[in-house]
């Protein structure tokens, strides 16, 4: 990673989205489990309901005598089958009131056909079948009365014999009677649990993404890599030797020889001064010849020229930015040593990282590498 004058803006890719979701897997899992549990409880507390349907074929004579009847309108018949008049007739043979039946009955037609489905919903399967059948019969009885009334009106006004006009005035027939269902029509607790878990997942995905996108702390090396849009070194305290070896390779020092990489030393800067000093001591044992350690805090009141002269006269060395050091001092030291290591840990502020990266003004020849430090107490 070479020097930057401003922070890179990483491209949003599908891989980045999945990485962010993965880093917030605990939130996602919690929402899935919470909504799944809520769905299961809801399903367990919801009483079982049963649905039964009776199917009717509506029949309409084209004429009664010389009187032409209007074309059958299935929308009208659908409304009629669920009307109060029909339900009151059905209620005479049922324990429910007409007002109760209204909420238990649904009538639906079929497109481009003369078929009506009368569906009843009840807490008892046999009750659902009885209601659907009674309402279907009541509708056919009501329709027959209407057609019979039209025929009587014709007979009273016509001098023709009515015997030849005796047509089928049943108004329709039940082609499929409702049977008591064997299973409830509503969802089981297991099904509502899965539905709840699915809703939790749908809600959790954007929340988990936002939680990672707007997190205040780094928490992980992947988030640091997203911010820098560049590879990030990882130093794990539990695997210190291997981590330091890989870190040196990323700095272009596979054998720890500063001269081979054309470096006069290393500069280590961190928002946590103790972390910078700790890394400086670790690196000093890996480099050859063994560099001296210099803390820029000792030159907090010195001029930039004095700091540059002190660094140049003590090469090779590792410069650490301790308590009281400024970023500008670290950048000046990096110009002298030829390499800058920016170190962060899980507690580092995302805003602070962005501010540091945006403030970098280094010589083009200076090597820049960001590092995430994970102490032995952290896992994963």
**Each residue's pLDDT tens digit, 189-212:** 999 999 999 999 999 999 988 888
Answer with the one of 157, 176, 195 that is the final residue of a domain: 176
> Which pLDDT band, with edges at 50, 70 and 90, does 67 fall under?
low
Residue 7 has pLDDT above 80, yes or no: no
Domain assignment of residue 11, yes or no: no
Q: Do both 134 and 66 map to the same domain?
A: yes
Residue 242 has pLDDT above 50, yes or no: yes
The answer to whether the beta carbons of residues 3 and 360 sit under 8 Å apart is yes
The DSSP secondary-structure symbol of 257 reads B
Domain assignment of residue 261, yes or no: yes
Answer with the one of 125, 143, 176 that is the final residue of a domain: 176
* Residue keyed to tokens 């210099």: 294
* Distance between CA atoms of residues 203 and 267, nearest Å: 45
Q: Do both 230 and 351 map to the same domain?
A: yes
More confident residue, 318 or 325: 318
Q: Do both 287 and 223 map to the same domain?
A: yes
> Which pLDDT band, with edges at 50, 70 and 90, does 3 fall under?
very low
Give pLDDT, residue 280. 92
Q: Do both 280 and 369 map to the same domain?
A: yes
More confident residue, 8 or 315: 315
The CATH code of the domain that includes 87 is: 3.30.1890
Residue 274 has pLDDT above 50, yes or no: yes
The answer to whether the beta carbons of residues 109 and 57 sit under 8 Å apart is no
Domain assignment of residue 274, yes or no: yes
Q: Do both 164 and 267 map to the same domain?
A: no
Give pLDDT, residue 6. 43
Give pLDDT, residue 165. 46
Rounded to two decimals, what is the model's pTM?
Answer: 0.58
Domain assignment of residue 123, yes or no: yes
Domain assignment of residue 228, yes or no: yes
Residue 214 has pLDDT above 50, yes or no: yes
Q: Do both 315 and 230 map to the same domain?
A: yes
pLDDT, averaged across the chain: 85
Q: Do both 155 and 225 map to the same domain?
A: no
Q: Do both 262 and 359 map to the same domain?
A: yes
> Which pLDDT band, with edges at 50, 70 and 90, does 4 fall under?
very low
Domain containing 80 equals 50-176
Residue 108 has pLDDT above 90, yes or no: yes
pLDDT digits (tens, 9 = 90+) for 163-187: 444 445 667 899 999 999 999 988 9
More confident residue, 71 or 39: 39
The CATH code of the domain that includes 260 is: 3.40.50
* Mean pLDDT on 264-272: 90
* Residue keyed to tokens 């330091």: 244
Angstrom CA distances, 271 to 182, 227, 268, 377, stand at: 69, 16, 10, 20
Give pLDDT, residue 322. 65
Residues of the chain with pLDDT > 90, as a percent, come to 44
Q: Do both 168 and 290 map to the same domain?
A: no
Give pLDDT, residue 299. 74
Token readout for 347 is: 């507690």
Domain assignment of residue 151, yes or no: yes
Give pLDDT, residue 45. 92
Residue 380 has pLDDT above 60, yes or no: no
Give pLDDT, residue 115. 94
3-state secondary structure (DSSP) of residue 370: strand
CA 202 to chain centre: 3
In the chain, the DSSP E strands lie at 50-58, 63-64, 67-68, 105-109, 115-122, 172-176, 233-236, 265-269, 292-295, 317-320, 339-345, 367-374
* Mean pLDDT on 305-326: 79
Q: Do both 227 and 343 map to the same domain?
A: yes
More confident residue, 117 or 310: 117
- Domain total of the chain: 2
Q: Do both 55 and 166 map to the same domain?
A: yes
Residue 362 has pLDDT above 90, yes or no: no
Domain assignment of residue 62, yes or no: yes
Q: Do both 61 and 130 map to the same domain?
A: yes
Give pLDDT, residue 2. 45
Domain assignment of residue 200, yes or no: no
Give pLDDT, residue 178. 92
Answer with the one of 148, 176, 204 that is the final residue of a domain: 176
Give pLDDT, residue 159. 53
């Amino acid at each position: 990673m070479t020097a930057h004058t401003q922070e890179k803006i990483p491209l949003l890719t599908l891989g980045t989205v999945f990485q962010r979701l993965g880093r917030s897997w605990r939130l996602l899992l919690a929402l899935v489990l919470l909504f799944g549990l809520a769905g299961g409880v809801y399903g367990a507390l919801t009483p079982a309901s049963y649905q039964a349907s009776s199917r009717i074929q509506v029949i309409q004579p084209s004429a009664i005598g010389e009187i032409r009847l209007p074309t059958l309108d299935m929308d009208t018949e659908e409304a009629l089958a669920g009307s109060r008049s029909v339900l009151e007739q059905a209620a005479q043979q049922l324990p429910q009131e007409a007002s109760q039946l209204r909420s238990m009955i649904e009538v639906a037609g079929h497109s481009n056909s003369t078929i009506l489905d009368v569906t009843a919903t009840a807490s008892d399967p046999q009750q659902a079948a009885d209601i659907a059948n009674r309402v279907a019969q009541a509708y056919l009885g009501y329709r027959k009365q209407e057609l019979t009334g039209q025929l009587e009106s014709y007979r009273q006004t016509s001098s023709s014999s009515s015997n030849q006009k005796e047509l089928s005035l049943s108004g329709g027939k039940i082609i499929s009677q409702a049977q008591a269902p064997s299973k409830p029509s509503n969802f089981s607790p297991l099904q509502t649990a899965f539905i709840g878990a699915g809703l939790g997942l749908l809600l959790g995905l954007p929340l988990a993404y936002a939680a990672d996108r707007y997190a205040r702390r780094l928490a992980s090396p992947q988030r640091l890599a997203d911010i820098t849009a560049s590879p990030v070194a990882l130093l794990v305290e539990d695997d210190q030797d291997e981590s330091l070896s890989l870190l040196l390779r990323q700095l272009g020092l596979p054998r720890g020889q500063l001269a081979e990489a054309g470096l006069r030393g290393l500069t280590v800067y961190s928002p946590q001064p103790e972390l910078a000093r700790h890394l400086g001591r670790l690196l000093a044992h890996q480099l050859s010849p063994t560099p001296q350690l210099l803390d820029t805090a000792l030159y907090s009141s010195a001029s930039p020229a004095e700091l540059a002269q002190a660094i140049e006269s003590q090469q090779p060395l590792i410069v650490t930015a301790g308590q009281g050091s400024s970023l500008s001092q670290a950048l000046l030291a990096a110009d002298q040593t030829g390499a800058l290591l920016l170190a962060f840990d899980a507690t580092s502020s995302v805003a602070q990282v962005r501010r540091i990266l945006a403030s970098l003004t280094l010589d083009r020849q200076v090597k820049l590498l960001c590092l995430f430090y994970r102490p032995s107490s952290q896992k994963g």
